[in-house]
Structure 1
């Protein structure tokens, strides 16, 4: 196994920079830089020197002995001053040392997975935590990183192994009198797991929205004030505004944090009939994005004239309240009237939706859960046919177990790993 190293902190000037090493030569490489013996586990303040004895920097050296480390291997961390020059010279010395090489993206975490320190769902949770921009995303990522989905999967797996073993005991002793009927216990175990799987699979769509962001589309007629409203919500000039109809022809996106939830606001082209080819393309795109959005804000007095169906949770507000005598139910991006009410309304609707999410957060998770559930449904159907078909029911349960093992990365996920770890930085 190679010994790898990388800058684990962000690039650029900082108070402290962290350089991480992992592998069989991690401790000796750190010791060579300090010119002193380091404890197998601990921290020491040391001066780092190049091979010719010249002083590099002062730093804090931390050592971790396998398997009690992030990667499960011997690990050393060098915490040095965070200047670009100091980082570069230490990295250069490490690159010249025999047996060391620069880590690939995500290689530290991949070693943690391969050494049993994390399961695949925890790896995904770590990636989500690094990318988290809102409080809801942070909490969701921490739940996955803590291993809660893996814990659930292991509990389901134990129940299914118990159910399958009961059936196999009946098969093994088919020529003898079995003292009890195992069908009721097997049925209870399988139906309990199926209910959990169904609940988690149904919550994936909302959980994935928390991870990637909800989309809220602002729709209305041309010159209804959609772009002005978007700018007011964003607190900056994100969209061009003018008195001319058809100014917005593409979908303009602004990402925001609303009550801890990630939300992307969509400013769409004004919806109307037009002979302008380019504007018509924008209108068709606007309708499509509006229909696919999680929530729509109808900036109009008559939603039916826009050609987009208004659903029960969609929001209607009257445009340009600054030009109206009766301002009730209206909004103005120009004066700010009604903006706070709209933000609270959007946050409330999406907040209620987000309460229905489960622990599973990705389409990959949903597919594995549904595959397991399909196999268990087949197992139950066969189970009712009696002991003669118990071997088929047990095999369906083993298929469900394999789906759960794929969920946490025990089997059948090798083709996913390169894609997953490619999104990590070098130091992770």
Structure 2
């Protein structure tokens, strides 16, 4: 981290204001070079920014944050400039010409915050989700993770493992040489309680479902109204609607949000026994695959012929066609009948599939490490040899350390921080 980095940290210009951040040991000299002198720490002042030839670049608000108590844990400068493209380009070009400064890579500011102990990996995961959040539910869940809820939960487990390890070490130190198999009093109960806490966390809905949206697959035979209902729910004419059977040949996806809850609507080819050609046959195969992947299936075909737990949808109610005896929802894509009720029903069902508000949602990487720790705790539960029990507890602790970033590979860090934009 010897280099000093800079980047535009606000939205792409043109904009009213553009914020350029500089982080590293060269931040203070850079501010002196552009603004003439350092202002008082953490005080916003108006300064004229000039390049190396003395030419005026902009009149900007500047803030000087001496490290280590900063967002990145390093000396940090913020330049609040006018947000025109030419202004931002001129300021960045002037910074690039200063010795020891370079443009930041994706996620490099956040990575430095992690490496300097300002945040851990679980909080970094939450920050990445917060930046990518598009719905209110995603924002609230990301705030929980970025606020440290996941970290505190894992830290608690780690402390429990350390306490259990200390009991094992004490038993080994004071046991007779001929008998090192007796477990400390209360050890088994505490170990089982910890294992139960891990299982409870693993049973929660995964964060990926919240990130990507609940998958709602519309399925049924040709001309059952799937594409019309898809367009009505998506509020867009993305799917081709036709009376010709087999019009939809491929899978069409569209992300939407109902009441702040993220969904992915999936329109599929009509399912029938005999396809008209190889292309339609491939589409039918993909439709069946999508039903297998679905979180919710809206079945528009004959009643009872859909997959288990599918919602029975009676579509095209405006046509007067014979309907289902006990449909879950009656809808018309033409008149809008029942669409509001269907959307509300999807939101209600999604509430059972998504993390609860205020609850820490685990990402796939985190779930794998917690599962690994749970397996090691099971080894400790089944063993009587104190040496093997102690080793299993050590491996469980290492899993928690990796989750928090205390023992991580460069490849994993590159992948995680690569999710961020330049300037964050």
Residue 393 (structure 2) aligns with: 397
Residue 109 (structure 1) aligns with: 110
Distance in 1 between the 2:355 and 2:171 partners?
43
Aligned 1:22-421 pairs, distance under 5 A: 22-175=23-176, 183-205=184-206, 207-272=207-272, 273-304=274-305, 308-311=306-309, 314-324=310-320, 329-354=329-354, 359-382=360-383, 385=384, 389-421=385-417
Deviation of 1:100 (Å): 0.5
What do you get for the CA RMSD once the two structures are aligned?
A: 1.9
Deviation of 1:204 (Å): 4.5
Distance in 2 between the 1:391 and 1:301 partners?
62
Deviation of 1:251 (Å): 0.8
Deviation of 1:324 (Å): 1.2
Stretches of structure 2 lacking an aligned partner (at least 5 in a row): none
Q: What SS is found at the alignment partner of 1:47?
A: strand
Deviation of 1:171 (Å): 1.1
Moved more, 67-76 or 349-358: 349-358
Deviation of 1:182 (Å): 6.2
Deviation of 1:354 (Å): 2.3
Distance in 2 between the 1:330 and 1:174 partners?
72
Deviation of 1:13 (Å): 0.6
Q: What SS is found at the alignment partner of 1:9?
A: coil
Are the counterparts in 2 of residues 201 and 360 from structure 1 also a CA contact under 8 Å? no
Are the counterparts in 2 of residues 204 and 362 from structure 1 also a CA contact under 8 Å? no
Deviation of 1:325 (Å): 7.2
Distance in 2 between the 1:35 and 1:65 partners?
17
Distance in 2 between the 1:32 and 1:289 partners?
58
TM-score by length of 1: 0.93
Stretches of structure 1 lacking an aligned partner (at least 5 in a row): none
Are the counterparts in 1 of residues 205 and 354 from structure 2 also a CA contact under 8 Å? no
Q: What SS is found at the alignment partner of 1:45?
A: strand
Distance in 2 between the 1:191 and 1:111 partners?
38
- Count of matched residue pairs: 414
Are the counterparts in 2 of residues 19 and 78 from structure 1 also a CA contact under 8 Å? yes
Q: Deviations over 1:113-143 (max 9, x none)?
A: 1111111111111111111011111111111
Deviation of 1:149 (Å): 1.0
Distance in 2 between the 1:338 and 1:200 partners?
37
Distance in 2 between the 1:193 and 1:360 partners?
18
Q: What SS is found at the alignment partner of 1:243?
A: coil
Distance in 2 between the 1:95 and 1:204 partners?
46
Deviation of 1:259 (Å): 2.1
Where in structure 1 do 4 or more consecutive aligned residues deviate above 3 Å? Answer: 325-329, 355-358
Distance in 1 between the 2:362 and 2:153 partners?
14
Are the counterparts in 2 of residues 360 and 366 from structure 1 also a CA contact under 8 Å? no
